[in-house]
Amino acid sequence: MPASVILGAQWGDEGKGKITDLLSEKADIVVRYQGGNNAGHTIVIGDQKFALSLIPSGVLYPTVTPVIGNGVVVDPRWFFEEKAALTKRGIDPSKVKISNNAHLIMPYHRKLDAVIERYLGSAMIGTTKRGIGPAYTDKFSRVGIRIQDLFDEKIFLEKLDVALKMKNKILVKVYNQLPLDFEEIAEEYLGYADRLAPHVTDTSLLVYDAITSGKNVLFEGGQGTLLDIDHGTYPFVTSSNPTAGGAPVGIGVGPTLIDNVIGVTKAYISRVGTGPFPTELLDETGDAMIDIGGEYGVVTGRRRRCGWLDMVALRYSARINGLTEIALTKLDVLSHFDPIKIATAYTANGETYTEFPRQQRVLYECEPQYEELPGWNVDISKVNRWEDLPANARAYVERVEELAGVPIRTVSVGPGRIATLDREA
Ligand code: GDP
Ligand code: IMO
Ligand code: MG
């Protein structure tokens, strides 16, 4: 802090929710800058578990103002459902602020997400089917509808008319679907305006004022670096920029206002959905990682693919994001493995790659080169001081730090708040 970005350094699900929650204790504002309700961030407090998708993780602290920035795509139906679920559990989401410039996820976006995936068949991306891609497509095609349009009925109806006419043609003629009803959508969305009004504000100004007056602001990324539309394993990516560069754009402050970039990294690696994955383990070791790590999607319940930590990818992530530190999570899961492997390079067609290959085909063909480290074979989930970790566990963390070239300041050994080791303490 004062202004820090927390983002996923891998393919998502690194434990960003947990790390954001920890840092939120000292934060005044926590901002989401991209993505939408495709994210699934888990926070465990005592025996309570919260799964947040659209609302920033900071909402759990009454002292934090959670902000949904302009770079996020907002499904209002989902927003009110998530808000109601939090309220029911005694959390007050009334302070959530939403950018007037954020784009809306419309019913036709959800529908298109599902039918496009079906149409792609074996080339499918494995999206969350929350309408994320089609909503961003409309934003960039300049036929999107923004939050602020809900407060101008005439403009909203005009924009909906243009967008829906196009979408219905596509749904009917290309995908053989029934058209969606204009009146029904108009009524539903215009009905959100009054309920959204207390949340909507100029979030760029809000965040700018907070940072320049010395308040602590966290920018919480959804997804992860390798799912970035520009820098990830395209097309098996999400439709936004989860990388650090997305933060200033997605909230509307200059990059010079950001002090730190914290890359949340799992001690191994996982991905949900399709796409290349060099260190994927399709054997009993991979199955054990999934079971011991509880690697099932928060949003879709899908089994996550798992593999050894990939340092080629992590170094790439450190570079793309300008990481100033790493928070290493789920070290406790590796207690069950001996030896433990780290991929330090790839080889393909007689060539060795220590940098992320510029030709994506290499990611499918390559053979990861592993370094083996001895395991520690004891439960570390109750350890709460760095010095109390077994020597082999510390050696693993130190080796990852050395290979990444980025300091590892936080090590997580369990889902709860207390299962965290601060290496600076
Ligand atoms: P996010 O999307 O990056 O916020 O991560 P998810 O919530 O999708 O997935 C991370 C999962 O790992 C959640 O179930 C967390 O409760 C859990 N988790 C986070 N940190 C740790 C840790 O250090 N050890 C263990 N065993 N679980 C953790
Ligand atoms: P958090 O924030 C892991 C993946 C989907 C799919 C691809 C595109 O919890 O880390 P989309 O619905 O975004 O168009 O899907 O991106 N994906 C995620 N994978 N964690 C996430 O979020 C993800 N959000 C999207 O599985 O492969
Ligand atoms: Mg997740």
Q: Name the nearest CA neighbour of 111 among 163, 156, 175.
A: 175
Atom 23 in ligand 2: residue holding the nearest Cα: 223
Q: Name the nearest CA neighbour of 219 among 227, 210, 228.
A: 210
Q: Name the nearest CA neighbour of 258 among 289, 216, 296, 318.
A: 216
Torsion (CA) 311, 313, 317, 319 in degrees, nearest 10 = 70
**At residue 72, does pLDDT exceed 70?**
yes
Ligand 1: does its nearest atom lie under 6 Å from the Cβ of 42?
yes
The whole-angstrom separation of Cα 54 and Cα 37 is 5
pLDDT for 247: 98
pLDDT for 425: 59
At residue 208 the predicted structure's pLDDT band, cuts being 50, 70 and 90, is: very high
The whole-angstrom separation of Cα 361 and Cα 363 is 5
- Distance in Å from the first CA to the final CA of the chain: 16
Atom of ligand 2 nearest to the CA of 224: 10
At residue 222 the predicted structure's pLDDT band, cuts being 50, 70 and 90, is: very high
Q: Is 251 left (phi over 0), alpha (psi -120 to 50) or beta?
A: alpha
Ligand 1: does its nearest atom lie under 6 Å from the Cβ of 21?
no
> What's the 3-state SS for 223-240?
CCHHHCCCCCCCCCCCCC
Q: What is the mean pLDDT of residues 68-83?
A: 98
The whole-angstrom separation of Cα 180 and Cα 177 is 9
Q: Name the nearest CA neighbour of 143 among 165, 110, 176.
A: 165
What CA–CA distances, in Å, run from 191 to 36, 68, 183?
21, 20, 12
Ligand 2: does its nearest atom lie under 6 Å from the Cβ of 39?
yes
Atom 6 in ligand 1: residue holding the nearest Cα: 13
Least confident of 25-39, 164-178, 272-286, 295-309: 295-309
Q: What is the mean pLDDT of residues 363-376?
A: 98
**At residue 197, does pLDDT exceed 70?**
yes
21, 28, 41, 332: which one is catalytic?
Answer: 41
**At residue 89, does pLDDT exceed 70?**
yes
Q: Is the peptide bond before 407 cis (omega within 30 degrees of 0)?
A: no
**At residue 1, does pLDDT exceed 80?**
no
The whole-angstrom separation of Cα 23 and Cα 6 is 9
190, HSE (Cβ side, Cα atoms, 13 Å):
15
Q: What is the mean pLDDT of residues 132-161?
A: 98
Say if CB 385 and CB 411 are below 8 A apart: no
301, HSE (Cβ side, Cα atoms, 13 Å):
0
164, HSE (Cβ side, Cα atoms, 13 Å):
17
The mean pLDDT of the chain is: 97
Cα of 12 from ligand 3 centre, angstroms: 6
Atom 11 in ligand 1: residue holding the nearest Cα: 15
Q: What is the mean pLDDT of residues 95-111?
A: 98
Q: Is 41 a catalytic residue?
A: yes
Say if CB 31 and CB 251 are below 8 A apart: yes
Q: What is the mean pLDDT of residues 92-109?
A: 98
Is 370 strand, coil or helix? strand
- Ranges of beta strands (E only) in 303-413 are 305-307, 309-310, 325-329, 340-348, 351-353, 367-373, 408-412
At residue 108 the predicted structure's pLDDT band, cuts being 50, 70 and 90, is: very high
**At residue 304, does pLDDT exceed 70?**
yes
Ligand nearest to the CA of 329: 1
**Which residue has tokens 């770079």?**
71
Q: Is 259 a catalytic residue?
A: no
Say if CB 131 and CB 150 are below 8 A apart: no
Atom of ligand 1 nearest to the CA of 413: 23
**Which residue has tokens 């920018």?**
219
Question: How long a stretch of residues is the chain?
Answer: 425
pLDDT for 73: 98
Is 217 strand, coil or helix? strand
Torsion (CA) 122, 346, 396, 40 in degrees, nearest 10 = -20
CA R_g for the chain: 22
Q: What is the mean pLDDT of residues 93-112?
A: 98
What CA–CA distances, in Å, run from 19 to 5, 271, 288, 409?
11, 19, 24, 12
Ligand 2: does its nearest atom lie under 6 Å from the Cβ of 130?
yes
Cα of 152 from ligand 2 centre, angstroms: 33
Q: Among 7, 10, 18, which is best to mutate for testing ligand 1, by the most ligand atoms less than 8 A from CB?
A: 18
**Which residue has tokens 């907070």?**
210
Atom of ligand 2 nearest to the CA of 132: 14
DSSP H or E segment with residue 203: helix 203-212
Share of the chain above pLDDT 70, in %: 100
Backbone angles phi and psi of 346, in degrees to 5: -120, 150
The whole-angstrom separation of Cα 32 and Cα 57 is 9
Q: What is the mean pLDDT of residues 266-283?
A: 97
The whole-angstrom separation of Cα 249 and Cα 34 is 9
